[in-house]
Structure 1
Amino acid sequence: MKLILTRKYAIIYFSLSGFLFLYSCAAIQAPPGGPKDIIPPELVHAVPADGSIYFAGGQVELVFSEYLLESSVEMSIRIQPSLPEPPEIKYRGRTLWINFPDSLAENQTYIISISRDLRDEHNVQLGQGLQIAYATGAEIDQGKISGKIYYEKPAVVHLWKIVEENDLSQFYKRSPDYVTDTDDDGNYLFYYLSPGAYKLLGTDRSFAGLPLDPERMIYGLSWNNIIQLDSVNTKDGINMRITNKPRSIRLVRGEWQSKNWGRLIFSDNISNYEKLLPVRILKDSAVIVSKTFLDELDQNILHFMLRDSVPGGSHIIISIPAVSQGEQTIIDSGKVTIRTPMELDTTYLDIVYPKSGFEIEPEQDRIVPLDIYFSRTMIDSIGKNAVQLFADTTSFPFDIQWLSPLHLQINPMDNWKPRSKFSLVVAREGIFPFFGRSIQDSIQTIQISTTRYKGFGNLIGRIEKPYPQPLIAELIPLEKEQSKQRTVVNSNSEFEISHVSEGKYSLLIFNDLDGIRNYSYGQVDPFRPAEWFQFLPDTISIRNNWDMEITNIQLKQQP
């Protein structure tokens, strides 16, 4: 798409100084000063007018309420359906001129789609995307598709019209026919669509207008296999959820940590698949037996330990097979080569977690363990009094358990006293890393405090029939530190989620067609629609020792 910025030149003669100055003025600018402009630019008028028929091409003039930011113009404008050659676009001040060719298709509605990337000179973007329509025939197509995208970031919706049989399965491999942005609340709307069958998906706005790479790009589908529009037809409630991460996890790299210990770094959390992930390690064409364990502080990392140490300068080849769930690949197969370093590790052992100032949220009905994570793999034995816990100056008795070579867990025999101070004391002579130095100081003290008892409540609900089966009810926290909880809606149309942390939540109901109790966002290869879902409109507030009851839940827009 060619963008032309018109310029004005002026020659000014300053007679008092006898000098001639040449000024070139770029785009017209509004006068400086005044309060900060936060009002989004708006389209004031279009020539020809929006909705004109018998359009034969030529120039379209669009005038906005604000001076436009030059760098935002070209990337924000699309012609839909696309033209064989991109149109020329001129820009000056508040006005855009778009030049259409005179060889347009007959009886076709063309749409000038302007995304929210268009900004005014104060960098304020459009409040919502714009669509201006012109028909080469006697009428403007009136089909509409609308819905809402549930996603944490700015999103875009791609729409394809099914023209031939191959489009049913391969549509995503070509650029979309229509693209529109969501507004700040996730709502989207396609106007001026001709009758026919369509497929659509939602994705991150950074991928706007691109063919879909299903292995690398995040996306979500509708629960509709095909959206069929008649001559004057509106399809609303076509809602989608976009996953926050790519569909498959990749092995990114491997790192050697010490003589018999290394780690594999993946592109995403592998905690659900750790036991399904065999690691094959080769040295000099010989398979080396290893033990693997997950990093509890960073669940993108899988550690491995060998039975024997490996000399420095060795090359280790590590491979993993693909891990699949049904027809979907969850973890791609991968291979990395690691060279073991020649240099010895002379750093001191560190207690990575907890650090002084750590707070524990005690619970009344269970004793919360205290987890200690070390920077280096440890021998699973501890000297007498090597780890001690004090409440002020009084010894606080506990049991210990090694959960991994990096993870020691302390389980107090008595419950934590709320709003109190504790000290964790670790002695250098009683803890033993496999290799290298122990902690630097002979005694390391970590100060710990407790908050008030953590509060819990329950959520009880009942759904009115009819509804699709089976259903899952899922509480999604609005505060990041909480975790999701879900349960099955039983045969009496009831559900209960117990022991929920105090806080604010949204309630999601979805049709668990694949039976895995996690929401399925759909996939394009092979094509499978997403699972039907509905969010309840109101925020759920869970309070300590309260049962929150929601009855007569009416599910709308069912599949």
Structure 2
Amino acid sequence: MPLPARRTPQAAFQHCLFLLLMLVTCAQEGAPPGGQPDTFAPYVVNVMPPDGTIRVATDTSPVITFNERIDLRSLVDAVFIVPLIPFKIKSNWDGDEITIEFEESLQKDKTYVITIGTTVRDRRNNRLTSAVVHAFSTGALIDQGEINGMVVMNQRPAVGAFMWAYNIRMKPSPDPAEIPPDYIVQTGEDGFFRFTNLSLESYRIFAFRDQGRDRRYDISRDPLGVPTRDVILSEEEISSGPLWFQLAVRDTVAMYVSATRVVHNRQVGIRFSKAADAETAADTDNYSIVDTEGGDTLEVLTAYRDMPDSTSITVLTAPQTLGRSYSLTLSNLRDYEGELIDSTGNTTRFTGSSREDTAPPELKTIWPANRARDVPLRPDIRFTFNEPVTMEDNAVSLVDTSDQIVAGTLAWTSPTTAVLRPDGNLVGNSQYTIHILINQIHNLADQQLQNSKSESDSISYLFSTVDTTEYGMISGLIADEDSTATGSINISISNISYRNNTYRTRIPSPGSYRFDELLPGRYTVYAYRDANQNGRFDFGAVAPFTPAERAIVYPDTIPVRSGWESEGIDLRIRP
């Protein structure tokens, strides 16, 4: 028998290299090169015990099988089990099957719900197209209670918000910052949520957006929604909804003075821990400045909340004495939510200055802006200055294309903001000019308005009014299912297609509403019942529990077209 031919060293090396490349290629995971990328969503093939199973053993370990390997990291924040019970997730070698191992025995005669959220993904980042909800019971029956509703924030659907439900028979005063819930779900892409398989009990539900992604409610940063009512499920009413939630950050710490700065010998700036209420900030009776040595009072001439920094207030005083120590106390000052300033943080000190006010006043903003288009026919022309100023009668004027002055009324809405309102409607699709005479506008130190654009003694701004043939309309009916409710209904619509222009109206009771003179675009519609008639939406409180005011957002955006009326946009406020 002939002996096999011997390989040369070079041939042996090439043979080994070939085998190594084959080994590496075969060991690689994922789709082979070439062809279409994997864009198919994973899905659940099987769950054991099956959905609806009763008399499940208290030591069971549910098994969930997917059609393909799952990214196990995506399961960490995607699997919810209620009632809450600690558990671990283990995977098989192929990664397409997980086992849920409970760290303690299940309760007897209890319905459990496993929810697998849409954040579960495969190795190609394809996600589940819809959540999987699976229920089983350790008793002879499966609970059938249901609660559904919607969560919004800034009048938009709140996607992925946590919904925490508490059995208030067992937890009569639930606080999501302190007490874990009995049931958990999340909102979907449309902001809607749905609890299923609830026991027939009384529930209080809170909504929040988990900014820290730690499955906990952080009162300092997570926007929270308080319910408009508690829910009672019974044999007669096994389901309830829709409930409605509006999210907002709840800052329960009272406002306090955080810093004080002397600008010059007639001006003091005060910074607060949160935004101040403009009305109480402008009341000079809320300020007391006393010389700490002699006890003399330093007069407060005017005060106002700064724009746009609503956490700062400017106080103008009589001339201060250089080096003198002053104590400033604020009383009856409220924050933007109407809460009083903290009585332990309402006093500050500053040292008097001899520095004169040498800076001229500035025009910070004007509306409409220069060369603005589609301005309404009855605009409020707003001038905002960096400090209080005085204007002579003809300091500002509005003229048309014929250089004729448009009659109007000038009013001050704050010490730094003036509004010029035309007495009648302007002409549509026309150009107008705002003239400002800088030598007729002075601050309290009698310094003339600064013209940063040129050395001219006047400033001019142009704008064009809207073409009224472009206008569309929105109309509809608002009903309230609570026949005993009182208070007007505040309605607002926002054009999300065009700079988020917002229009508001108020009707005294349920009935018809209508918005005319709307620019084309897509609009959101929002309404709430102002039960306490304070002119703003009240978000409610966790403790002591105060229900939020009832409100509603139209579920779809409304298209507005030129010359057309979008009618039948009806809203129903639930109890």
1:498/1:193 CA distance change after superposition, 3 Å? closer
Per-residue CA deviations over 1:80-130 (Å, capped at 9, x if unaligned) read: 2223x5435448744433222463322233333334443444555544443
1:352 correspondence with 2:364: yes
- Aligned to 2:115, what secondary structure does the other structure show? strand
Higher strand share: 1
After TM superposition, the structure 1 stretch with the greater mean CA deviation from structure 2, 474-483 or 40-49, is 40-49
Alpha-carbon separation, structure 2, partners of 1:329 and 1:402: 23
Determine the structure 2 residue equivalent to 1:476. 492
Shift, 1:159, TM fit:
0.7
- Aligned to 2:17, what secondary structure does the other structure show? coil
Q: 2:382 aligns with which of 371, 391, 395?
A: 371
User: Conserved in 2, the CA contact under 8 Å of 1:144 and 1:233?
Assistant: no
Shift, 1:411, TM fit:
5.0
1:487 correspondence with 2:510: no
Determine the structure 1 residue equivalent to 2:7. none
1:338/1:16 CA distance change after superposition, 3 Å? farther
User: Conserved in 2, the CA contact under 8 Å of 1:160 and 1:176?
Assistant: yes
User: Conserved in 1, the CA contact under 8 Å of 2:286 and 2:333?
Assistant: no
- Aligned to 1:432, what secondary structure does the other structure show? strand
Shift, 1:336, TM fit:
7.8
Supply the AA of the counterpart residue of 1:133.
A
Q: 2:245 aligns with which of 235, 241, 245?
A: 241
CA RMSD of aligned residues (A): 5.1
Determine the structure 2 residue equivalent to 1:147. 149
Alpha-carbon separation, structure 1, partners of 2:185 and 2:349: 46
Q: 1:108 aligns with which of 107, 110, 135?
A: 110
Determine the structure 1 residue equivalent to 2:303. 292
User: Conserved in 1, the CA contact under 8 Å of 2:277 and 2:338?
Assistant: no
Alpha-carbon separation, structure 2, partners of 1:181 and 1:361: 42
User: Conserved in 1, the CA contact under 8 Å of 2:144 and 2:196?
Assistant: yes
Shift, 1:527, TM fit:
1.9
Shift, 1:157, TM fit:
1.2
Alpha-carbon separation, structure 2, partners of 1:428 and 1:507: 42
1:174 correspondence with 2:185: no
Q: 2:134 aligns with which of 132, 135, 141?
A: 132
User: Conserved in 2, the CA contact under 8 Å of 1:277 and 1:320?
Assistant: no
Aligned residues, how many? 531
After TM superposition, the structure 1 stretch with the greater mean CA deviation from structure 2, 312-321 or 127-136, is 312-321
Structure 1: which 5+ runs fail to align? 1-12
1:421/1:537 CA distance change after superposition, 3 Å? closer
User: Conserved in 2, the CA contact under 8 Å of 1:432 and 1:438?
Assistant: no
User: Conserved in 1, the CA contact under 8 Å of 2:150 and 2:242?
Assistant: yes
Identity %: 20
1:160 correspondence with 2:166: yes
User: Conserved in 1, the CA contact under 8 Å of 2:524 and 2:554?
Assistant: yes
Shift, 1:177, TM fit:
1.6
- Aligned to 1:219, what secondary structure does the other structure show? strand
Determine the structure 2 residue equivalent to 1:4. none
- Aligned to 1:524, what secondary structure does the other structure show? coil
1:280/1:423 CA distance change after superposition, 3 Å? same
Determine the structure 1 residue equivalent to 2:11. none
1:523 correspondence with 2:530: no
Counting only pairs closer than 5 Å after superposition, residues 25-36 of structure 1 correspond to structure 2 as 29=30
Supply the AA of the counterpart residue of 1:144.
E
- Aligned to 1:523, what secondary structure does the other structure show? coil
Q: How high is the TM-score relative to the length of structure 1? A: 0.73
User: Conserved in 1, the CA contact under 8 Å of 2:365 and 2:384?
Assistant: yes
Per-residue CA deviations over 1:382-401 (Å, capped at 9, x if unaligned) read: 5x986566656836466655
Alpha-carbon separation, structure 1, partners of 2:28 and 2:79: 19
1:541/1:70 CA distance change after superposition, 3 Å? closer
Supply the AA of the counterpart residue of 1:62.
I
Alpha-carbon separation, structure 1, partners of 2:246 and 2:323: 46
1:452 correspondence with 2:466: yes
User: Conserved in 1, the CA contact under 8 Å of 2:472 and 2:565?
Assistant: no
Alpha-carbon separation, structure 1, partners of 2:216 and 2:399: 60
Q: 2:316 aligns with which of 298, 305, 315?
A: 305
After TM superposition, the structure 1 stretch with the greater mean CA deviation from structure 2, 13-22 or 132-141, is 13-22
Alpha-carbon separation, structure 2, partners of 1:308 and 1:32: 80
Shift, 1:190, TM fit:
1.8
Q: 1:200 aligns with which of 197, 201, 205?
A: 205
Q: Which has the larger radius of gyration?
A: 2
Alpha-carbon separation, structure 1, partners of 2:68 and 2:480: 50
1:377/1:66 CA distance change after superposition, 3 Å? farther
1:541/1:331 CA distance change after superposition, 3 Å? farther
Supply the AA of the counterpart residue of 1:394.
D
Per-residue CA deviations over 1:336-385 (Å, capped at 9, x if unaligned) read: 8587899999877543213533347242xx4x3422222x3144145x98
1:358/1:246 CA distance change after superposition, 3 Å? farther
After TM superposition, the structure 1 stretch with the greater mean CA deviation from structure 2, 177-186 or 333-342, is 333-342
User: Conserved in 1, the CA contact under 8 Å of 2:145 and 2:197?
Assistant: yes
1:65/1:319 CA distance change after superposition, 3 Å? farther
Supply the AA of the counterpart residue of 1:178.
Y
Q: 1:218 aligns with which of 223, 227, 246?
A: 223
Determine the structure 2 residue equivalent to 1:442. 455
User: Conserved in 2, the CA contact under 8 Å of 1:174 and 1:211?
Assistant: no
Q: How high is the TM-score relative to the length of structure 2? A: 0.72
After TM superposition, the structure 1 stretch with the greater mean CA deviation from structure 2, 297-306 or 169-178, is 297-306
Shift, 1:52, TM fit:
3.8
Counting only pairs closer than 5 Å after superposition, residues 261-280 of structure 1 correspond to structure 2 as 261-262=268-269, 264=271, 267=274, 270-271=277-278, 279-280=286-287
User: Conserved in 2, the CA contact under 8 Å of 1:108 and 1:137?
Assistant: yes
User: Conserved in 2, the CA contact under 8 Å of 1:472 and 1:511?
Assistant: yes
Determine the structure 2 residue equivalent to 1:15. 16
Determine the structure 2 residue equivalent to 1:5. none
Supply the AA of the counterpart residue of 1:234.
I
- Aligned to 1:15, what secondary structure does the other structure show? helix
Determine the structure 2 residue equivalent to 1:96. 98
Alpha-carbon separation, structure 2, partners of 1:269 and 1:456: 38
Alpha-carbon separation, structure 2, partners of 1:35 and 1:318: 71
Alpha-carbon separation, structure 2, partners of 1:26 and 1:304: 74
User: Conserved in 1, the CA contact under 8 Å of 2:62 and 2:100?
Assistant: yes
